Each structure stands twice: as C-alpha cells, then as structure tokens.
Structure 1
Amino acid sequence: MILGGGENQIPLIKRARALGYFVVLCDFRDNIEGIVLSNRHYQINTLDFAKLIEVGKIEQVDGIITNSEPAFISMATAAVALNLRCNSIEGTKLYKNKYLMREFCKQHGILSPLYRQCTSLEEALDFFRQVKKKCIIKPLDNSASRGVYSINSERELLNLFGSSLAASSAANPAILIEEYIVGTEFTIDGLMNSNGHKSLAISEKKHYAYNENVAYQLLFDNFSEKFDYNELRKINDHLVNQTNMPFGLTHAEYKFCNGRFYLIEIQARGGGNFIATDIVPFISGIDSYTQQIKWCVGDDADATYNYDTLGKKCAVLHFFDVPSKGGIVKNIEGLDYFRSLGDKFIYDLHFKIGDTIHETKDDSTRIGWYILKSNSRKELNALMKHITNNFKIII
C-alpha cells in the first residue's frame, strides 16, 4: 500500500510494480498519474488513520510505504495496527517535528543552532531580543520551505510570524525560531539498514540572491577540495544511528560555520525533485527506494556501501530562475539543445509560453529544474556552461 500518488511518489510506485508487487494506492484525488500506474486506487485522505487501516485489512497488504511527509504519521500508525514493518510512531515523530529533533541533538552532542519552540508572537520576540542577531522562523513540521522566513528585525518578525504559524499543521500549531547560521549549506541523502546508516550522496547548495532560504543549485560530488566530506558523513551517520531507526531513507541539511558542521534539518525520507530516485542511485550505485520497498515487505537483503571505494561520478540539480524579476513568457529557447543531451539529462518546466512567472517564494514555486549526470567534474562543468548559454526564457 502506497500513500499518495503525486509527482514525487511516481518513482516509488514504478519501482514497486517493477519488483512485481500489486500496488494499492491511497489518495483523495481522482485525477493524478499515480492512479494509472497502480493496480487499485482508494480515494481516501491519507491522514485518515481508520480508513487506511480498513483498506490495509481488506487488501491484506504486506507492506505500507510513502515518501510524502504529510503522510508519515499515518504510515507509522497504520503499520503498527496492521503489524507491518515501519519506523515506530515515536521515531517518525522525531524526524517529522523539528523541535523534537533539536532536543534530541542537544542530548546527543550534535551541533545545531540556538532555538525555541513558540506558540505566540511574544515568545518569539523574547527569543529574538535575547540572541540579538539574525534569526529564522519555520513551522515545526512543514516541507518545501513553506512558512520559512529570515528575520532581521522585530518588525519583520511582527509581519511574518502569522504566516509561518499558519503554515504549521493542525497537529503542531507552533513555530521554531532559531539563530541564523551563516555558512555554506549541504544536503546528505542516506540509507539506514541492518549494517547501520550510510550517507550515499552529498551536495553543496547555492541559494537565490533574493531568497536565501530557497536553493537554486545542488552540486553532488563524493569529494570536496574545501570541505571535509568524511567528517560530514561521520556526523550524519552518528546522528541517524543514535535515533534507532530500524530502516529507511534520510535527507539532511547541514551548514558549515567557523570550522564546524551544524545540523539544520533532517527527515526520514529521500530527497525530493528526483534526488533519491535518480541522483542517489547514480552517485552511489544503490537504489535506496528499491531497498526501502523490499524491507517494508520483509526482505532483508541489505545493500552494502563502502566509503573507501567512492567513485568520481557527480551530478547537479539546478533550478531555473525568472529573468528580470518575472513577467509574461514570450518564448523559450534551447529546448532542442536539451533533447540532444540524451539520458544523462532530464528536465521539467512548470510554465509555458503565455504564462506569467514570478520570483520563487518557496521550494514549491520554483519554475522548473534540470538534472545533469556525469562521470567527471570537468565534463559536468562544461555542460552546465553550455546549458546556461543555450537556454533562455524570453519575457
């Protein structure tokens, strides 16, 4: 049983079908691609625990899985009721709730920013006045950078607190305010199995100049001339191993500041925008989605991964930007060049000629992306330059 049939769930459904499983999809919508790819569809809300459990019993499912954050607690709750393999409910809450993870890191010596959970503007203002520096506010359990804002003044906090709180779920109506860590940001995608956690792919991030909380580029490489990736892997593996997660994918974000790595966030899922499904298998040689599906139905054939044999494969996930702060799209140049790049290159545009496009507000409002994979950094850099020169949005 797979919870959710949207775009980011499609690779999960396809892998389950390719492995020979009968896929039961639960999604309240009736017009999404996942329905066509699944064997059976139940049009129910993935937050409705009772109905999910009922469907699981009717279909006698062997496993339940999702990579959709809103459905994590539903997955764990249904799995417990159906006696299926899954991370525990408490373990799932730890990865879903940013405040709980901050508390866990403090107990286990993992560096993270100063922080406070707040349910009122007054609490947030009190924290901001105490730290006397730039802060960031975020919902406790949302994704895609929705409700995340940088705070440079009390006026900004007054104006933005309500929007951040509104982006929190009904289950956790609060925000986290924390000191803003200045430094280079990284993502790490990993896999936990009986051999322990392994960090499979690291990226260095770049952010839009007009929105420092949204990335426009993630450059994946096993090595770095400026940063100690071995140390970063060690920190990340230690953190996940301490949480006692039995199995699963992880996606973490760290920042490097004053010679040390600080945890920014970590979730018990694979990276979105096809990071987990395309980039991680290419970089590491391990299809973590396939591993996750097998585990949840009782297959313990754990993959092994050795840091001593890291290869030179690299990749980039790049998000397009709007020219001249946006407007009506008159033409799109370079699509023929895109098609000439073959299977090393995939892309998606969330707009067409005639649409009005704007600067991005959060991860979900970026106008499109491409993924480019290569066996060498030199080739990757050259192709990225060619793409920049050939692709133009005319407004």
Structure 2
Amino acid sequence: MILGAGNTVTPLIEQAKRRGLVTIVVSPDGDYKGLKLADHQVHCDFRHTETILEYARHYAIDGIACTGTDVVVPTIGRVIDELGLYGTGYESAVACSDKWLMKQGLIRRGVRTARGLVCDMPDALTLAKETIGFPLMSKAVDSSGSQGVFKVDRPEELHDAWNASKQASSSGRVVLEEYLEGIEFGAQAIVEGSRVKTVFLHNDQLTSPPDHAPVGHSIPCTLSPDQQARSCMEIAAAIEALGICDTVSNVDLMLVGDTPYILEIAARMGATCLPETISIFGGFNAYDVVLSLALGEPLVAADIYKGMPNASRMIESPQDGVVLQVRVPESVRLHPNLHRLSIYAKPGDSVRRFRVGPDRIGDVIVTGASVNEAEQLAADLASLVEIVFA
C-alpha cells in the first residue's frame, strides 16, 4: 500500500510496479499519474485512518510506504502497529510529524536542536519576544514542504508571520524557535530496523527570507570530514530519540560553527529530487530501498559508492498566473550532463510564484565533474526554462 499519487510519490509506485508488486494506491480522487498506475485505487483523505486501515486489512497488505510528505506518516504508523508491519510505529510517527513533539523528544534525549516554544494564541507572542529574541523562526507545527515557515527579523513582523504559520497548520498550532545562524544542509539516513545503516549528507540551496524553502540540493556534501562525522552522530542520536525504524529518514540540519543542530527529522524520505540525488551518488535506487524496508527485506548496500557529483534545481514561476506554454530550449533538453528534466505545469494550470516546494513547476537534475560545477549548471539550465502566461 502506497499513500499518495502525485509527482513526488509516482516514482515509488513505478518502482513497485517494476518489482512486480501489487500496488494499492491511496489518494484523494483527481488527475494524479500515480492513480493511473495503481493495481487498486483507494480514494480517501489521508487522515481517514480507520478507512485506510480497513482497506489495508481487506487487501492483506505486506507493507505500507510513502515518500516526500509528512501528512500521511501518522496513518502509516497506525497501520504498521495494527497489522504488525515493518516501519515506524504510530507514537513515533506522530512525534516526527509534529514539530513541537519532535523538539521535546530531541531535547529530552540531549540531541542538539533550537530552543523554542509552542504559541497557540497571540497573547503568547510577548513571551516569545522576551524568551527567544530576534531573529526567530515561525513554523506551522504540522506542515511539510516548508509551508508556513518564516524567518522573523523584527518584533513588528512577528504577528503577521505567526498568523501565516497558523493558517498553514491544520491544527492551528505554531512553534516559535531561536534562529540558528550557520550553514543549513540536510541528510537522507537509511534506517534498517532501528539501526542507521548509511547517511547521505547533502548541500541545500534555499530561497531568500522571509520565505524559507529549498530550491536545490547537491552532493557530495562540502562540510569537512570532522563536521560530517559529528553530523552523522547527531542524526543517529535523533533517530534513536524518536524511535524511527525501517525507513529512509529526511533530516534538516544547521551547522553553527563546527556544531551540528537538528532542525527537523522525518520518518519518511525527502522530496524535491532528494531520492534521485542520493541514488545517482550512491549508485542505487532509493525508492527500491524504501520498498525493501517496508517489506522487511535485508538491504544489500554497495561497499563503494560511485560518488557521482550531482545537483538538482527547482524550476520556478516568476509570478502567479495561468500557464499558456512552457518553453524548454534545446540547449537544456540536449545538454550532455542533463540527468532528468521534469515539467509538471501544463497549459491551463494555475501556478504561484515560488515560495515553497509544492510551488515548483518542474525540476532539473544534472551531473558534473565537481559539486560546484553541478550546482551552477543546474541553476543555469533551470533559469532557461520560460513560462508564457495566458
């Protein structure tokens, strides 16, 4: 059973089909490519846990998986607990999908993370000003894809940022936390059972404040060997603290000086081309790893990575509007270092100026002789894609 059928999840469904697995795809009804690939479709809101559990029993599923979104993780945890499947159970899944519970779990176990407080009512903003100070981060407790996440530099900006975060939260809850100044980067940690098998650290390219979203990723990570080793130790401690099992865990980190801090950690693999980024570098298929972990199959990891430097870049719309045409020059389509070009927007689609991950209209993935070369090429090719508006 796979939860989700959009652009992020479709490669997981495609890999399941290549393996000859019977796929039960759960998604709200709509024009989703993943639904068309499914052996069985379940049209359902992801939060309708009991309904999904009923279908899981009906089909006698052997595993359940997702990628790229947090909203489905608690439901997956519930199914795992009820049916005795492999993966992260409900209690840990909820903690990984709620930024406040996550922060409390990390702090209790001594994992380095930003201090903060939950702020449900505007009256609590005064306490945040006094105890956290500025700049600070305002985050929707239960959003993903960087939605509802803002940097707040001055007191007069706090109420509007808090309100925007609150609007992005399904529960209406907001975490306000200290702003950590440093180098933001990320990781995909392969967790077999409760043991961290491999960690792929990657570089992140981000939008400018007040929006705070990744526009690209690249690998190999440019941190020093010591900084990478300390980061891997902190990631392992966070995974143990939250009880994450049998998944590829997406981790956001900040390096402050030489000290890594965990910003957020998820019980699912990352989105925005991260599965492809680590797959190219590691010489394997990250979606296949997710399926193997969900089925309890032992992983066979290569001892030597291919180590191919690569980078991804989101293709962004410069404005809100309705798409008439997306023009991709031949210099992009035929570039020898282009690994993948994806265009999601179609004529007639309404698109938004890029603010968060789901706003992307496409992406490019390229390889290079070095990570810096790949990053520059990815940015250059993405910038050449032209959107014509109606």
Q: Which runs of 5+ in 1 are unaligned?
A: none
Query: Is 2:252 the partner of 1:253?
Result: yes
Q: Following the alignment from structure 1 to structure 2, what is the Cα–Cα distance between the partners of residues 138 and 199?
A: 29
Query: Is 2:289 the partner of 1:270?
Result: no
Give the aligned partner of residue 315 of structure 1.
310
> Displacement, 1:194?
4.1
Q: Following the alignment from structure 1 to structure 2, what is the Cα–Cα distance between the partners of residues 322 and 28?
A: 26
Matched to 1:37, the amino acid is L
Indicate conservation of the 8 Å contact 1:222/1:313, yes or no. no
Query: Is 2:363 the partner of 1:369?
Result: yes
Give the aligned partner of residue 333 of structure 2.
339
76 and 394 in structure 1: CA distance in 2 versus 1, 3 angstrom threshold: closer
262 and 6 in structure 1: CA distance in 2 versus 1, 3 angstrom threshold: same
1:306-342 deviations in Å (ceiling 9; x for gaps) = 6xx555421111124556x788989866521122135
266 and 294 in structure 1: CA distance in 2 versus 1, 3 angstrom threshold: same
Indicate conservation of the 8 Å contact 1:220/1:314, yes or no. yes
Matched to 1:259, the amino acid is D
> Displacement, 1:106?
1.4
With 252-261 and 343-352 compared, the bigger mean Cα shift is at: 343-352
326 and 109 in structure 1: CA distance in 2 versus 1, 3 angstrom threshold: same
> Displacement, 1:135?
0.8
1:186-221 deviations in Å (ceiling 9; x for gaps) = 011111014821443222223233545123232221
Which aligned pairs between 1:220-259 and structure 2 lie closer than 5 A? 220-224=219-223, 228-259=227-258
- Match of 1:81, SS state, is helix
388 and 191 in structure 1: CA distance in 2 versus 1, 3 angstrom threshold: closer
TM-score (norm 2): 0.88
Indicate conservation of the 8 Å contact 1:253/1:266, yes or no. yes
Over aligned residue pairs, what C-alpha RMSD do you find? 3.0
Give the aligned partner of residue 125 of structure 1.
126
> Displacement, 1:246?
2.8
Give the aligned partner of residue 302 of structure 1.
299
- Match of 2:52, SS state, is helix
Give the aligned partner of residue 4 of structure 2.
4
Q: Percent identity?
A: 17
Indicate conservation of the 8 Å contact 2:333/2:341, yes or no. no
219 and 41 in structure 1: CA distance in 2 versus 1, 3 angstrom threshold: same
Indicate conservation of the 8 Å contact 1:188/1:201, yes or no. yes
1:59-89 deviations in Å (ceiling 9; x for gaps) = 2222222223211111111232233223111
373 and 241 in structure 1: CA distance in 2 versus 1, 3 angstrom threshold: farther
1:237-268 deviations in Å (ceiling 9; x for gaps) = 23213433331111111111233111111111
Indicate conservation of the 8 Å contact 1:328/1:356, yes or no. yes
Give the aligned partner of residue 186 of structure 1.
185
With 23-32 and 1-10 compared, the bigger mean Cα shift is at: 23-32
The aligned length equals: 388
1:94-148 deviations in Å (ceiling 9; x for gaps) = 2111112211221222221120012111113311222332111111111011111
- Match of 1:213, SS state, is coil
- Match of 1:294, SS state, is helix
> Displacement, 1:30?
4.1
- Match of 2:212, SS state, is strand
1:352-395 deviations in Å (ceiling 9; x for gaps) = 78988764222222343211124544763674476378556689
With 131-140 and 238-247 compared, the bigger mean Cα shift is at: 238-247
Q: Following the alignment from structure 2 to structure 1, what is the Cα–Cα distance between the partners of residues 309 and 90?
A: 36
TM-score (norm 1): 0.87
With 359-368 and 143-152 compared, the bigger mean Cα shift is at: 359-368
Matched to 1:360, the amino acid is F
Give the aligned partner of residue 58 of structure 1.
58
Matched to 1:115, the amino acid is G
Give the aligned partner of residue 290 of structure 1.
288
Q: Following the alignment from structure 2 to structure 1, what is the Cα–Cα distance between the partners of residues 321 and 291?
A: 43
Matched to 2:116, the amino acid is Y
Give the aligned partner of residue 138 of structure 2.
137
Matched to 2:207, the amino acid is Y
Matched to 1:347, the amino acid is L
311 and 343 in structure 1: CA distance in 2 versus 1, 3 angstrom threshold: closer
> Displacement, 1:46?
2.4
Matched to 1:88, the amino acid is G
227 and 318 in structure 1: CA distance in 2 versus 1, 3 angstrom threshold: farther
